[in-house]
Chains A and B, each alone.
Chain A
Amino acid sequence: AQSVTQLDSHVSVSEGTPVLLRCNYSSSYSPSLFWYVQHPNKGLQLLLKYTSAATLVKGINGFEAEFKKSETSFHLTKPSAHMSDAAEYFCVVTGGYQKVTFGTGTKLQVIP
């Protein structure tokens, strides 16, 4: 069995301040973990992925995430938020037989 928990449904930050979006997972297999971003009425865009290589993963637009097995976490961070980062972010885990589980999403609001 596997699951994903995004701890915050809504995060609000000021422009230029750091972003932290939290994600915890559970999986019976060695998981692959992903962060996707979805802008309003748009499809999903891959930000970054962890697939058992380096635990610190760098993605697009300055985002990065660290896979911490001991904490079963894969939090998404960015040093300085930009207005264009305002969107919905989904943490995703895939395990055996390509079973895919989406988190419930975190809406990021960036305040000017």
Chain B
Amino acid sequence: GAVVSQHPSRVICKSGTSVKIECRSLDFQATTMFWYRQFPKKSLMLMATSNEGSKATYEQGVEKDKFLINHASLTLSTLTVTSAHPEDSSFYICSASQREPRDNEQFFGPGTRLTVL
């Protein structure tokens, strides 16, 4: 149980275009979803936290107008990278925590590799 999927797993796009990444909790209701970015050979950097039906909370230094997050339901959150540039190329990982048990465990998606040409 507690499986999180991400789609697509890999995407290549041209500079200036927008890319949407989906994060789904497949077998549980996710009260909170998190979006992380991982640079090569680096740890994960939390970008934002989203709760279903409310606006996402962005970490300091993350542009909310560039990285649009929508948590439309208890099983789906989307991250849209708008007007992507090569420096946005990265590995994006989402995670979700479930309503019960409330032990703060996060279940991670497999990640999405974004390459902006």
Partners in one complex: yes
For A32, the closest partner residue in chain B by CB is B104
Whether B113 lies near A90 (C-beta < 8 A) is: no
A44 within 8 Å of B by Cβ?
A: yes
A-B Cβ contacts below 8 A, count: 51
Q: Mark B91-117, 1 if CB is under 8 A from A, else 0.
A: 101010100000111111111010000
For A97, the closest partner residue in chain B by CB is B49
A92-112 contacts to B (CB < 8 Å): 92, 94-95, 98, 100, 102-105
Main secondary structure of the interface of B (DSSP, over half): strand
Instruction: Given A102-B43, A104-B43, verify A32-B111 contact (CB < 8 Å).
Output: no
Chain B residue numbers with a CB within 8 Å of A92 are 106
Whether A100 lies near B108 (C-beta < 8 A) is: no
Whether A44 lies near B93 (C-beta < 8 A) is: yes
Which residue numbers of A lie inside 8 Å of B, CB to CB? Answer: 32, 34, 36, 41-46, 49, 51, 90, 92, 94-95, 98, 100, 102-105
